[in-house]
């Protein structure tokens, strides 16, 4: 094998990019509501504060005082109504209420219909991640093809490295499928 083409570096980079796609999936899953309260539920919410959109966790402290309750301790009293409005308009089906600088967010029980909708959203997130992983694979395969064309690797090495990249892809798609299965169980749990 030629010194100019480094398969280990390419595999490491491919793995890192696929891992990044799976991490994004976990963040998206964190924003999907289940029957239990979790601070990650409010991670995707942005609040209009000081003339800009800011993440909710930069204007207050989010905590879980009870299994079906979130609370946001807003640091600036003037932002309480903005925080309430942002939570209401988030599309999560939550109804916050304020008590001074504390915004309470009760987590209502999910209906069967809403659970079905959420599992479809989770499945879409998972499919988007599978596509991202396959795009990373395609990019790696293109690099292998051009390395062979440029004479940096032999045809046999190309075939061998392609198999390794495919195994990596299968491993990450398996991680996506496992994450989806776990999230669907969490959503459907009454």
Q: 131-146, pLDDT tens digit by residue?
A: 999 999 999 999 999 9
What is the structure's pLDDT at 181? 94
Rounded to two decimals, what is the model's pTM?
Answer: 0.68
pLDDT, position 1: 43
20 assigned to some structural domain: yes
- Considering the domain architecture, whether residues 122 and 166 belong to the same structural domain is answered as yes
Please check whether residue 120 lies inside any domain of the structure.
Answer: yes
Identify the CA nearest to 164 among candidates 19, 20, 18, 11: 11
> Distance between CA atoms of 30 and 40, rounded to whole angstroms?
5
Q: What's the pLDDT at 118?
A: 84
Q: What is the CATH number of the domain that holds 74?
A: 3.30.1360.40
Whether residues 115 and 143 share a domain: the answer is: yes
Out of 51, 86, 106, a domain closes at 106
CA dihedral (11, 13, 18, 21) in degrees, to 10, reads: 180
What is the model's pLDDT at position 4?
57
pLDDT of residue 57: 87
| Count: domains in the chain | 2
Among candidates 30, 17, 11, 13, which has minimal Cα distance to 133?
17
Segments forming the whole domain that contains residue 143: 8-30+111-188
CATH number for position 177: 1.10.132.20
Q: Are strands 69-74 and 60-66 parallel, antiparallel or unpaired?
A: antiparallel
Residues shown for the chain: 190
Residue 3 lies in a domain: no
Verify that 58 and 76 share a domain, yes or no: yes
Which residue positions in the chain have pLDDT lower than 50?
1-3
Alpha carbon distance 60, 145 (integer Å): 51
pLDDT at position 143 is 92
């Amino acid at each position: 094998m030629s010194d100019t083409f480094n398969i280990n570096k390419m595999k490491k980079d491919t793995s890192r990019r696929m891992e990044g796609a799976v991490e994004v999936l976990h963040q998206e899953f964190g924003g999907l509501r289940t029957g239990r309260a979790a601070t990650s539920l409010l991670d995707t919410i942005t609040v209009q504060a000081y003339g800009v959109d800011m993440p909710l966790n930069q204007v207050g402290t989010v905590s879980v005082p009870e299994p079906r309750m979130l609370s946001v301790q807003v640091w600036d009293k003037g932002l309480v109504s903005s925080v309430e409005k942002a939570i209401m308009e988030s599309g999560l089906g939550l109804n916050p209420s304020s008590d001074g600088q504390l915004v309470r967010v009760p987590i209502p029980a999910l209906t069967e219909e809403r659970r079905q909708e959420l599992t479809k959203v989770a499945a879409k997130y998972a499919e988007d991640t599978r596509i991202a992983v396959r795009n990373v694979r395609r990019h790696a395969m293109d690099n292998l093809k051009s390395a062979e064309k440029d004479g940096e690797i032999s045809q046999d090495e190309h075939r061998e490295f392609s198999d390794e990249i495919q195994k990596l892809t299968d491993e990450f798609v398996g991680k996506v499928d496992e994450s989806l299965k776990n999230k669907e169980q969490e959503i459907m749990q009454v």
